[in-house]
Chains A and B, each alone.
Chain A
Amino acid sequence: MSTPTWVRVTSSPASGPASPPTPGQAIRNDDSRLIPWSPGELDLVWFLGDIYQVQTHFGSRNTVPCVGDECALCASQPPRPNGFAAVLVRNGQSLEGVEVWIPRVLRVFKNNFGLGDNLRGRVFKVKKLTGSGARSEWQYTFSYAKTPPVDEFDVQAVMNSVWFPAKFPPVYLGEQRVALKPKAVAPAEPTFAESLKALPNEQLIGMISSYRDSGMNKLADAIAAELRGRGVTLDTDPSPTGGDGDGTAKLKAGRFRIGVYSVPVKAGETAAEPTNGRHGKPAKGGAL
């Protein structure tokens, strides 16, 4: 049995633009598909090499290669070019701060050939626009270029093993994963109790009374616990006589309000007088 003839896709005028894409440039590909098919699994593809095209037919259920003179399908349908490229696909999930890239064969239809050549190291965002199967439309947006961590694998050998399993041995690709680089791990958000440790006693005391007045007792309790941990003695019960000298009344009256701002009332105005909005514009409802 003959094997198909493979040709490397180049950026000739017939196959696409001569200049490589620039970052952010979207290339609409009206007739392209990816392996695997589910677009939700993919977000970035990292080319390990160029696209190689081969003449194919659509068989009973799958795309099969045209084997030239011995091809039985040529009588019923004309061959169509398909492209295949070795890529790394970024898994949408990351494992313990490590990006995982999985080798895949990217299936590229003729309209995708506009991606050109010298593709090794180029990373594209892939987005499915419309349709399904062979009629689906995909958009490739060039993201960045960086030297891949692995060599290009033999796409022809992979596809031959798929199409002619009796003649070509399988190529193992499935479990290979490439750790790109550790992601910067953001420090954990502090809990409320941890945040309180950064606040001064005076502010915390004011917060307690404010939250007690508002019925937010859990907040007040948490703050009180922090203060007790600092050795601050709290007595929020009002004294039988009240008064300014025992500190209790002061605590009760000290509704918390952060000291760096207040509700703006312009000098010379009272709360009962209309004020203008910012930049001299009439405030909302000011005409009423």
Chain B
Amino acid sequence: MNAPLHPKTAAYVGVTIAGERFVSRISVNAVSSRLSLCTHLRQHAGELGWGDHGTAAAQLALAIMNDAVGRETALEWYHDFKAEVVSKLGASWVLNHGDVVDWVLGRSFSPVMAKGGAA
């Protein structure tokens, strides 16, 4: 798996304020910064969205996963991440960085770990 692009990222926060949607990356020092759309990787939409299966949700799934686990893993799994996580998010939400990594680990590495553990 690729190294996280922002190892000091603690969480991703999505809020709806006065009808506008914002997604921020929160550092361990409680500083928020803008989350890149990652349209250079794949362009589904020009904005980030959640709560449905639309293109903006796909863009958010890609953006979060790219930030959390790197490009290659993100491109492999972001469609599933959208379907299972992003599409079910409410109006305002928080995703811990560790939980995103755990989600990917459960997807792509648990078989290996499980087999090793069983042996």
Contacts and interface: CB of A to CB of B under 8 A. Distances in A.
Q: How many A residues are at the interface, by size bracket?
A: 35 or more
Given A218-B29, A263-B103, A190 B15 contact: yes
A277 B94 contact: no
A70 to B, nearest CB: 58
B10 interface: yes
B75 interface: no
Contacts of A256: 94, 96
A13 interface: no
B29 A260 contact: no
Interface string B58-95: 00000000000000000001001000110011111111
A59 interface: no
A257 interface: yes
B57 to A, nearest CB: 13
Nearest to A188: B22
By secondary structure, the B interface counts as mixed
Interface string B14-47: 0111001010101011111110000000000000
Interface string A98-129: 00000000000000000000000000000000
Contact of B106 (A199, A222, A260, A263): A263
Contacts of A229: none
Contacts of A211: 10
B3 interface: no
Contact of A192 (B13, B88, B90, B107): B13
Contacts of A221: 30
B72 to A, nearest CB: 11
A261 B88 contact: yes
A272 to B, nearest CB: 5
Contacts of A216: 10, 28
Contacts, number: 120
A261 B110 CA distance: 17
Given A219-B26, A260-B88, A288-B115, A195 B15 contact: yes
A245 interface: no
A26 to B, nearest CB: 20
B108 interface: yes
A278 B110 CA distance: 13
B93 A258 contact: yes
A278 B80 contact: yes
Contacts of B89: 258, 260
A288 B105 CA distance: 17
A95 interface: no
Interchain residue pairs A-B with the least CB separation, the first 5? A263-B106, A285-B112, A198-B15, A198-B92, A260-B88
25 contacts: A189-B33, A189-B34, A190-B32, A191-B32, A192-B32, A195-B32, A198-B15, A198-B17, A198-B92, A203-B94, A207-B94, A211-B10, A219-B26, A256-B94, A257-B99, A258-B89, A264-B103, A273-B114, A277-B107, A278-B107, A283-B107, A283-B110, A284-B108, A285-B111, A286-B111
